[in-house]
């Protein structure tokens, strides 16, 4: 049983969240994203993916039950996000993850953590020697049905019927856990696998093939089990597109060809296009080609690699990170793909909020993208220096720049 206090807190937040989901603007945003992701002309859409919520007073949770506090945080996060007035869509359900029986690769990956609570960490890579590959375990897809049902029932009891609960049964090897580059970096380490490319290429091929094959097998098992759902999309933006079914809660049995797929290559940012293709993309391709549409890239510089990416047959979105040459990327991308423009969060909102600087950078880069299907993603915001109004002001500035172009 949950305390009356915790239940009251959660139900109040849930009711407020459903009010957000019922706003007419959600319907208009769905139309815009559906057109935009289908390569039809719209204004540049604005997607705020991060806003340093944890340093703001609005993030403070007061539920005493740690389980319920997880969903209190989710609701408070989304209510504050709505106040920023970007083009994000808020769906009329709350997500809860299924309990998986298999995750990881059969080895521990310890972290050496900084004393600073917001500091960095260093992984202790488990694949140190060639023979360590034998320690890795091939993954599989299996959901703990009793554990999943218990979690969902516990949340349902607390939240009542105020908001539908979407049980996300997507495979555990999805999002970053299903990204080959991320997994390779965590298991072997960037500095080591870059040396392996020349010193031990056949062994590296074997390691990457093991990771890629494991992820693909899990995806196939999840599809056979009917566990992909229409909420399983992942494209680092809003998933609406004319070619795909709209997201929906508890709509299981989706095929991967009905969904967005995503992969990145952040750990390969300093690797040549040729080596990127040989040691990563060719192992990503069997996974990506099974999805309906694909988004590629996150924080890496893909300026020299867009030509290489064209071999992905269902590619639709390409990330243009703060480290990329925006003009050169725009010239190559043209109207063939969506250009996901990602200005530096430091320049935008991180330190010394400077409207003149923001306008100058956005104007320069959006002019370079004026013949593209571009959107703007604000991401990796580590701080807003405790200013809860800063990102909302940035959204207003971005809209002003868009209107002036």
State the Cα–Cα distance between residues 141 and 219, nearest whole angstrom.
Answer: 8
What's the whole-number mean pLDDT along residues 212-237? 97
Determine what percent of the chain is predicted with pLDDT higher than 90.
Answer: 95
Which pTM does this prediction carry?
0.96
State the Cα–Cα distance between residues 290 and 73, nearest whole angstrom.
Answer: 34
Return phi, psi of residue 390, to 5°: -65, -45
State the Cα–Cα distance between residues 104 and 98, nearest whole angstrom.
Answer: 16
3-state secondary structure of 48: strand
- CA 268 to centroid of chain Cα atoms: 18
State the Cα–Cα distance between residues 348 and 37, nearest whole angstrom.
Answer: 25
State the Cα–Cα distance between residues 177 and 127, nearest whole angstrom.
Answer: 17
Domains of the chain, with CATH numbers? 4-404 (3.20.20.210)
The pLDDT tens digits for 75-98 are 999 999 999 999 999 999 999 999
3-state secondary structure of 222: helix
**Do 291 and 263 touch, CB atoms closer than 8 A?**
no
Q: Which two tokens stand for residue 3?
A: 């305390």
Nearest CA among 10, 48, 38 for reference residue 399: 48
Burial class (CB in 10 A: 0-12, 13-18, 19+), 128: exposed
State the Cα–Cα distance between residues 51 and 74, nearest whole angstrom.
Answer: 14
State the Cα–Cα distance between residues 176 and 189, nearest whole angstrom.
Answer: 16
The pLDDT tens digits for 303-348 are 999 999 999 999 999 999 999 999 999 999 999 999 999 999 999 9
């Amino acid at each position: 049983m949950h305390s009356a206090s915790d239940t009251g807190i959660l139900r109040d937040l849930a009711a407020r969240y459903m009010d957000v989901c019922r706003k007419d603007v959600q319907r208009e945003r769905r139309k815009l994203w559906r057109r935009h992701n289908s390569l039809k002309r719209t204004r540049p859409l604005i997607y705020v993916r991060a806003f340093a919520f944890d340093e703001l007073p609005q993030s403070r949770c007061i539920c005493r039950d740690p389980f319920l506090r997880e969903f209190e945080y989710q609701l408070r996060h989304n209510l504050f996000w709505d106040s920023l007035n970007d083009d994000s869509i808020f769906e009329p359900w709350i997500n809860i993850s299924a309990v998986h029986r298999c995750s990881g690769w059969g080895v521990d990956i310890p972290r050496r953590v900084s004393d600073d609570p917001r500091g960095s960490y260093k992984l202790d890579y488990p694949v140190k020697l060639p023979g360590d590959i034998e320690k890795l375990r091939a993954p599989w897809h299996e959901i703990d049905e009793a554990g999943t049902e218990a979690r969902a029932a516990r949340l349902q009891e607390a939240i009542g019927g105020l908001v539908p609960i979407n049980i996300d049964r997507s495979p555990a090897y999805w999002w970053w856990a299903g990204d080959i580059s991320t997994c390779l970096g965590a298991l072997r380490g960037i500095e080591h696998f870059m040396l392996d490319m020349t010193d031990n290429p056949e062994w590296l091929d074997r390691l990457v093939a093991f990771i890629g094959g494991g992820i693909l097998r899990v995806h196939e098992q999840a599809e056979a089990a009917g566990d992909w759902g229409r909420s399983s999309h992942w494209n680092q933006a809003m998933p609406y597109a004319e070619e795909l079914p709209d997201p929906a809660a508890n709509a299981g049995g989706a095929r991967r060809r009905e969904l967005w797929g995503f992969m990145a290559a952040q750990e390969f940012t300093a690797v040549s296009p040729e080596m990127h293709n040989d040691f990563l993309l060719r192992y990503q391709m069997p996974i990506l080609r099974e999805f309906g549409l694909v988004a590629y890239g996150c924080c890496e510089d893909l300026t020299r690699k867009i030509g290489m990416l064209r071999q992905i047959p269902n590619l639709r979105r390409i990330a243009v990170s703060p480290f990329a040459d925006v003009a050169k990327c725009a010239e190559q991308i043209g109207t063939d793909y969506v250009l996901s423009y990602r200005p530096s969060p430091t320049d935008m909102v991180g330190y010394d909020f400077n409207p003149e600087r923001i306008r100058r950078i956005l104007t320069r880069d959006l002019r370079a993208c004026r013949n593209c299907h571009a959107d703007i993603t604000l991401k990796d915001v580590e701080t807003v220096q405790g200013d809860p109004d800063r990102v909302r002001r940035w959204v207003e500035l971005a809209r002003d720049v868009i209107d002036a172009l």
